[in-house]
Structure 1
Amino acid sequence: MRSFILRSRESFWFLPGVLGLTAIVLAEALVALDRFLLAEGDGQVLFLDVLSASGGRAILEIIGTSMLTVAATSFSITISVLATTSSTYGPRLVRNFLADRANQLVLASFTATFLYALVVLRSVRTVEDGGNDFVPVISTNVAVLLGILNVAVLVFFIHHIADSVQITTLQRRVQTDLTRAVDLIYPADPAASSVQAAVPPVLSPEAVPASTHGYVERVDLAALCEIARAHDCVIDVVAMPGVHRIAGEDLVRVSPGRPAEEMADAVRAAFTLGVARTPHQDVRFAMQQLVEVAVRGLASGSNDPYTAVTALDLAATALVPVLSREPAATGLTDDAGHLRVLLHWPTPEDLIGDVFGGVETYGLDHPLVVRAALGLAERLAAVATTPTVTSVLTDTVRRLESARA
């Protein structure tokens, strides 16, 4: 369920669909209110002027037509921005635009107003249509109010879309995803169930294979812990978020004993596989998005080393907490303190390698980038607490100094 919610939030259909249904319900409710007031004999509602059928229809037709036109234009502009961003800064950044609530809300506002006007329009009646005249005064005036509100939404959209294509905005979005992933895997206040676990000496662990193919987008660790507790076993998660699996390859290894089919189905249900990696639990992918923006700025067609410098500065906001906090949990325990789930999160060395690997491959010809990379290495060395991290940073600095010389 949580995976469905996450995917829905990153789509252009969910919020417009919800607001569209809300608009239809609101229109029907207000039309019913107009009918009730007319039946009660209130010819004039509050301070609202009585409208003629032709006048009410004209207002609703103008609002409905204009909103649909503006919605189509806004959607075209958004698609154009997506195409430009994809080709310039990387196709993986398209997800950030799809997940942008502002873009979703703008599209939802226009489409919902169109549906509202359409539903209200069908209720307008004249003598020629058969029956008595009926013009929903309240409903029509609400449509006018929505039209005025959508003018402000359009102005906001123009500003927002212009701000969205700025490289600083793109990098800030990527940094936000990275920070969330870091806080999830390297929390400042680890949960009591998160432990540094040694691999238990188990014999012949049995695997639970994947039933489909794709990238592991999310793993429900709480569900796995409960499954392991219920079956009194240890589950070793070999397919962590970001790993690609095809049908038949191992998702987890269970020990001791062979997992029953019911348990295997429950384990598979805890994994969400998709066509692409996402940064929700995949901290390396979140970091690689930031590196990709920097690398594309160093391309010969762009020749923008300042983008890479900014990306290295933003990387420090994630790497410094990683090095200064407790290591990522390698195991989860149940309420009784028994080890139930084994984890294999990326190490700080992996993240450092992802950042400096891009610099060493594409940025050595740019003195500004090399200087920024050395500055990042110094900041990380100041908070490094393990010999392995210190060794990796020392080797990195040595290679960068050699390249600069």
Structure 2
Amino acid sequence: MVRVQALALRIRESFWFLPAVFGLGAILLAEVLVAVDRVVIDHGIQIAVLDALSASGGRSILTTIGTAMLTVAGTSFSITISVLATTSSTYGPRLVRNFMADRANQLVLAVFTSTFVYAVVVLRSVHTDVDDGTAFVPVIAVHVAVLIGLIDVAVLVFFIHHIASSVQITSLQKRVQVELAAALDEAFATVDDDRVSTAPRSSCAARGTTVRAEDDGYVQSVAWRRLVRWAVDQHAVVDVRAMPGQHVLPGEPVLAVLTEAGECVDLDDRAVRALRACVTTGTARTPYQDVRFALQQLVEIAVRGLASGTNDPYTAVGALELASAALVPAWRDRATVTACVDDDGVARVLPHWPELEDLVGTVFDGVVTYGREHPLVLTAAIDLAERLQDEAPPARSAAAARFEDRVRALLP
């Protein structure tokens, strides 16, 4: 059974869903307007603002609009594929999904294809006396097609502007930074967040009834609140052994279930299916809950900017500055989420997020490895380390100082 959450993720990053929905809507609109036209003609109602049309004139208009929109849709799709190829080769293949998930691109393709579908459906209802002895021209539907065609011209202008804007590195970096901030909200929380706990806890022993993966793939997301509700109903605690971003093989442990006293519990097939449905796996990592991957995207943009074939340190500088906008607030007053709690504050789900110090350290690992020959990048990394020091609580001050010392050692 395809999990609803996994399907939602696929739909979000697909080019087929919105065109399919708009296409069905176009068919429905065309049929409704044709039916309205029949009622208007049967009752002899005259609409002054609508010009009368001959069957040949109506067919010409609909054919022109349908052909033009299908051509424009093909051209738009070609432009999008070209942008995807450029992005993949320049900024990294893992960033292609940003364009796939762009609602504006999906909407433009949906508008153009649905206009073609609408024109074709209306066109089939146009008849002359020669065709079947009864002439019928859906005047309202044809004029609506003309209106939609004018709107499509505006959509085309918007698409050209949008694709030119979205391919700029600053726009791409900003989208990645927004995803990073959302992922950080999942993994790190302030002490006053009553949905989770950040209190230190001892590592879980290898115990509990294990729920194992059915298929291989990456853990893309975990339904935390759904797991909490299940644990409350069963008076249990769920230890998440496979966190978002981790690759699992069939038979490897994903979850472990314990009683409130820490003992193993018996799980029937129904319970196992319910627990597995809370963990979404797929063929690729996504940044929605995978905080390491969300940060890795920004680091990858910086690293590719420093490649010998690109030699663009300003891209790396921009990536570090946007990373600081997401990391510094978390560094200041957030701690790693150690448990998702119920309404009574009882720990019900135990995640294993990375420590923030280790996560921030990956940024400086990239700088030290690839940016040592670029003073601009080293200066931006020092600025990031100084910002971390300025905002650091006492427990993190030493880590921020180590980051700065590590980069300063590379300066000439």
User: Normalised by the shorter chain, which TM-score bucket?
Assistant: over 0.9
Q: Is 1:56 equivalent to 2:65 in the alignment?
A: no
Q: Is 1:80 equivalent to 2:88 in the alignment?
A: no
Pick aligned residue for 2:250 from 240, 247, 252: 247
1:68 & 1:340 partners in 2: Cα distance? 53
1:196 & 1:315 partners in 2: Cα distance? 23
- What is the aligned partner in structure 2 of residue 364 from structure 1? 372
- Aligned partner of 1:291: which letter? V
Pick aligned residue for 1:113 from 102, 109, 115: 115
1:40-65 deviation line (CA, Å, top 9, x unaligned): 112x3231011000000000000001
Asked whether the 8 Å contact 2:69–2:116 carries over to 1, the reply is yes
Distance 1:202 1:345, change over 3 A: closer
1:247 & 1:292 partners in 2: Cα distance? 30
Distance 1:253 1:402, change over 3 A: same
- What is the aligned partner in structure 2 of residue 287 from structure 1? 295
- What is the aligned partner in structure 1 of residue 135 from structure 2? 133
- Aligned partner of 1:307: which letter? T
1:340-371 deviation line (CA, Å, top 9, x unaligned): 11111122112211211110110010000001
1:176 & 1:390 partners in 2: Cα distance? 26
Q: Report the alpha carbon displacement of residue 336 of structure 1 after superposing the two structures with TM.
A: 3.3
1:362-390 deviation line (CA, Å, top 9, x unaligned): 00100000011011000011111143x33
Q: Is 1:394 equivalent to 2:401 in the alignment?
A: yes
**Within-5 A mapping of 1:224-373:** 224-255=227-258, 256-260=263-267, 261-373=269-381
1:398 & 1:290 partners in 2: Cα distance? 22
1:386 & 1:215 partners in 2: Cα distance? 36
2:107 & 2:205 partners in 1: Cα distance? 52
- What is the aligned partner in structure 1 of residue 22 from structure 2? 19
Q: Report the alpha carbon displacement of residue 102 of structure 1 after superposing the two structures with TM.
A: 1.0
Q: Report the alpha carbon displacement of residue 259 of structure 1 after superposing the two structures with TM.
A: 3.7
Gaps of 5+ in 2: none
Answer with 334-343 or 32-41: which moved more: 334-343
Q: CA RMSD in A?
A: 1.6
Aligned residues: 403
Q: Report the alpha carbon displacement of residue 270 of structure 1 after superposing the two structures with TM.
A: 0.2
- Aligned partner of 1:128: which letter? V
Gaps of 5+ in 1: none
2:12 & 2:207 partners in 1: Cα distance? 42
- Aligned partner of 2:37: which letter? D
1:97-151 deviation line (CA, Å, top 9, x unaligned): 0111111111011001000000000000111111310000000000001111111
Asked whether the 8 Å contact 1:227–1:263 carries over to 2, the reply is no
Answer with 390-399 or 298-307: which moved more: 390-399
Q: Percent identity?
A: 56
Secondary structure of the 1:73 match is helix
1:328 & 1:246 partners in 2: Cα distance? 27
Distance 1:188 1:337, change over 3 A: closer
Q: TM-score, normalized by length of structure 2?
A: 0.94
Asked whether the 8 Å contact 2:189–2:337 carries over to 1, the reply is no
Q: TM-score, normalized by length of structure 1?
A: 0.96
